[in-house]
Structure 1
Amino acid sequence: MPINIPKSLPAGELLRQEKIFVMEEDRAKTQQIRPLNILVVNLMPEKEKTELQLLRLLGNTPLQVNVTFLNTATYRSKNVSKNHLDLFYKTFDDIKNRRFDGMIITGAPVEKMEFEAVGYWQEITDIMDWAKENVTSSLYICWGAQAALHYHYGIGKYELPQKCSGVYSHVITDLTVDLVRGFSDIYVAPHSRHTSVSIDEVRQHPYLNLLSYSDDAGVFIVMSKDTRDIMVTGHLEYDATTLSDEYFRDIEKDPAVELPKNYFPNDDPTQIPLNTWRAHSHLLFSNWLNYYVYQETPYEWDYIDEYVEYHI
Structure 2
Amino acid sequence: MPIKIPDHLPARHILEAEGLVVMSEADAVRQDIRPLRIGLLNLMPNKINTEAQLARLFGATPLQIELTLVRMSEHVPRNTSADHMAAFYRPWSDVREERFDGFVVTGAPVERLAFEEVGYWAELQRIFDWTQTHVHRALMICWAAQAALYHFHGVPKHALERKAFGVFRHRNLAPASPYLRGFSDDFVIPVSRWTEVRREDLGDAGLSVLIDSEETGLCLLSDPARRMLHMFNHLEYDTGTLKEEYLRDGAGPLPANYFRNDDPAAPPVNGWRSHGHLLFGNWINEIYQTTPFDPAAIGRQVVNSATT
Q: Same fold (TM over 0.5)?
A: yes
- Partner residue of 2:248? 249
Partner of 1:228: 227
Amino acid at match of 2:161: P
> Do the aligned partners of 2:207 and 2:224 also contact (CA within 8 Å) in 1?
yes
* Separation of aligned partners in 1, 2:226 and 2:215: 26
Q: Which residues in structure 2 correspond to 1:83-102 (within 5 Å)?
A: 83-102=83-102
CA distance in 2, matches of 1:306, 1:69: 25
Q: TM-score, normalised on structure 1?
A: 0.94
**Aligned with 2:292 (options 279, 285, 298):** 298
Residue 99 of structure 2 contacts residue 296 of structure 2 at CA under 8 Å; is this kept in 1? no
Q: Mean Cα displacement is larger for which, 229-238 or 295-304?
A: 295-304
Quote the Cα distance in structure 1 between the aligned partners of 2:281 and 2:153: 26
Q: Distance in 2 between matches of 1:152 and 1:172?
A: 25
**Deviation for aligned residue 1:125:** 0.8
Where in structure 2 are the equivalents of 1:6-17 lying within 5 Å? 6-17=6-17
- Structure 1 segments, 4+ long, off by >4 Å, are none
Partner Cα distance (1:196, 1:303) in 2? 36
Unaligned runs of 5+ in 2: 304-308
Over residues 16-51 of structure 1, what are the superposed CA-to-partner deviations in whole Å (9 max), with x where a residue is unaligned? 010111001111000000100000000000100000
Whole-angstrom distance in 2 between the partners of 1:26 and 1:154: 45
Alignment of 1:15-164 (within 5 A): 15-164=15-164
Q: Name the CA distance, whole Å, in 1 between partners of 2:127 and 2:40.
A: 11
CA shift at 1:249, angstroms?
1.2
Counterpart code for 1:123? E
Aligned CA RMSD, in angstroms, stands at 1.2
TM-score normalised by structure 2 residue count? 0.96
SS in 1 for 2:129: helix
Shift of 1:140: 0.4
> In the aligned structure 2, how far is the partner of 1:227 from the partner of 1:246?
32
Equivalent residue letter for 1:74: E
CA shift, 1:227, in A, is: 6.5
Q: Matched residue of 1:29: which SS?
A: helix
Alpha-carbon separation, structure 2, partners of 1:114 and 1:303: 36
Corresponding position of 2:306: none
